[in-house]
Amino acid sequence: MGLNLDRASVLGLPVHLCADYVGWLLDCLALGRGATVATLNAEMAIAAERDAQLRSALLGADLIVPDGAGVVLYLRARGRRIKRMPGIELAEGLLERAAGRGDWPVVFFGGKPGVAETAAQRWRSRCPNLAISLVQHGYVNDQELKDFEEAIAAQRPRIILVALGVPRQEYWIAQVRDRCPEAIWIGVGGSFDIWAGTKERAPAWFCDHHLEWLYRLYQEPWRWRRMLALPYFVWRALLDWLRPAPIR
């Protein structure tokens, strides 16, 4: 597979289109080339319009996948027939295929104390050959974070999963990616909680009907203020659809 990617645009942010995102990342690893990965949804796209640091981090990413249903529907309305690529599924596919190698060290960083450790242990049970080299929860002070960053630079892992939530994980990846430029860096949000069993992913029906956000709101009703970005995204999408220029 070549490393060149087709690209579309959602509210001025690039979205890369690929039949096999995991295969593309594996090609990067095989060539000794690193990449930063962002998983774009409607909430993040709206936040990036107001947050220059987040927007800069997204524009600097090597791969942006269409994670959210709103992003997928936006592009389909503009004639781009794509499938959703949830970040958790991207990370799972990469870990499963990397386990066959056994020589690509993996880092788990983020989540509450105990969550990353439990998630990593479950992955060790699921894929015994997976080389998990560092596990660190996200509740660290400045010195602990500095020590962790130095450990990454010393160990040179190949896959770094960052579960700090948006936009903190995007900020951090953009700031430290040069410490380990040959690694694949992925912001995975709440994936550790799901792998650890502290939260449940939406049932398949919700995922298949683009309603995973609704199930998440049911689980975490405190997110309702953040969900107000969704109707605003729809409004912004309608304005974009009225423009005559096609997506590049």
Q: Where are the domains of the chain?
A: 16-241
Q: How far apart are CA 115 and CA 122, in angstroms?
A: 11
Backbone angles phi, psi at 64, to 5 degrees: -120, 120
Please state the rounded mean pLDDT for residues 188-209.
82
Question: Mean pLDDT over all residues of the chain?
Answer: 88
pLDDT of residue 47: 93
Q: Is the pLDDT of residue 134 over 50?
A: yes
pLDDT of residue 238: 73
pLDDT of residue 217: 57
pLDDT of residue 45: 94
Q: Do residues 197 and 217 lie in contact, with contact meaning Cβ atoms separated by under 8 Å?
A: no
| Amino acid at the residue 243 | R
Backbone angles phi, psi at 187, to 5 degrees: -80, 115
pLDDT of residue 155: 94
Please state the rounded mean pLDDT for residues 119-126.
97
Q: Please give the structure tokens belonging to residue 40.
A: 């774009």
Using one digit for the tens of pLDDT, what is the confidence trace for 34-87?
999 999 999 999 999 999 999 999 999 999 999 988 899 889 888 888 889 999
Candidates 61, 59, 163, 75; CA nearest to 114 is 163
Residue 224 banded pLDDT, cuts 50, 70, 90 = very low
Percent of the chain with pLDDT over 90: 70
Using one digit for the tens of pLDDT, what is the confidence trace for 225-247?
665 666 767 777 777 776 654 44
Please state the rounded mean pLDDT for residues 174-187.
97
